[in-house]
Amino acid sequence: MATLFAGTSGFAYPAWKPGFYPAGLPQAKFLEHYASRLNTVEINYTFRHLPSATTLDSWAKATPDGFTFAIKAHQRITHLLRLKGAEDATAFFFKALEPLRAADRLGPVLFQLPPYLKYDPERLAAYLQIVPMDVRSVFEFRDQSWLVDDVYDLLRAHNVSLCVAESEKLDVPEVITADFVYYRLRKPDYSAAEVEAYAARYRELLAEGRDLYVMFKHEEDHTGALRAEQLLHSAAPIAAPACGDHAT
């Protein structure tokens, strides 16, 4: 059965008190509370740092079965090497994520390309040959030149998802290139009515058997987390959150 995973980019935000986190909740308990209400989180920390095995083990223990961590690929791969000659860096990065994989908590890996990297299908094709096939991968293109059919075909050939990113700068079309779809909803805010409209569309895709990952922008308040929670409830009963029944 297909699953809707909905969450935000990050979780460790004291500013979410008391709208999402209880006022007296210590920061060490943020992830546990987050995972009782949402079923995925996008980790951007890994863009610049590799978390220790101890940290990843603690994340796994703080979350229930069915919760997933979507991990942003390290900048050495995407921004410094720009996918070229990145075999060793890629192998090292995925090895570092092994504790999450072993705990069955590893979700998609997001390769966010820099906005200055223009259309280069040969570069992409070569890199896709070394991406592990047993981990879901997502590519976010931030230059319009990449949004063409031959790039979509390359992604399809490797079951890699085009990141459907919606922001104030660039809207990526909803082109489905894998058996799952990854969305980054990056506008400053979404109304309750807009979330309901997304839920209707996502129910269609879930009925086709596609898992969906939807990440709201966190901003400086808790609105994104509440929108993600609304989306999970609105998509029920076809896709229910793989987390506890806790709500506040």
Ranges assigned E (strand) in 10-156: 40-43, 68-72, 106-112, 137-140
For residues 143-170, average pLDDT = 95
**CA 29 to chain centroid:** 22
Looking at every residue in the chain, the average pLDDT score rounds to 93
- Asked whether the predicted pLDDT for residue 219 surpasses 80, the reply is no
Reference 210, options 148, 162, 140, 157; nearest CA is 162
What CATH superfamily is the domain 4-235?
Protein of unknown function UPF0759 (3.20.20.410)
| pLDDT tens by residue, 110-143 | 999 999 999 999 999 999 999 999 999 999 999 9
Domains of the chain, residue spans: 4-235
Would you say residue 63 has pLDDT above 60? Answer: yes
What band does 58 get if pLDDT is binned at 50, 70 and 90? very high
Predicted confidence (pLDDT) at residue 236 exceeds the cutoff of 90: no
Q: What is the pLDDT of residue 246?
A: 40
Predicted pLDDT of residue 241: 43
* pLDDT, position 220: 77
Q: What predicted TM-score, i.e. pTM, was given to this entire model?
A: 0.93
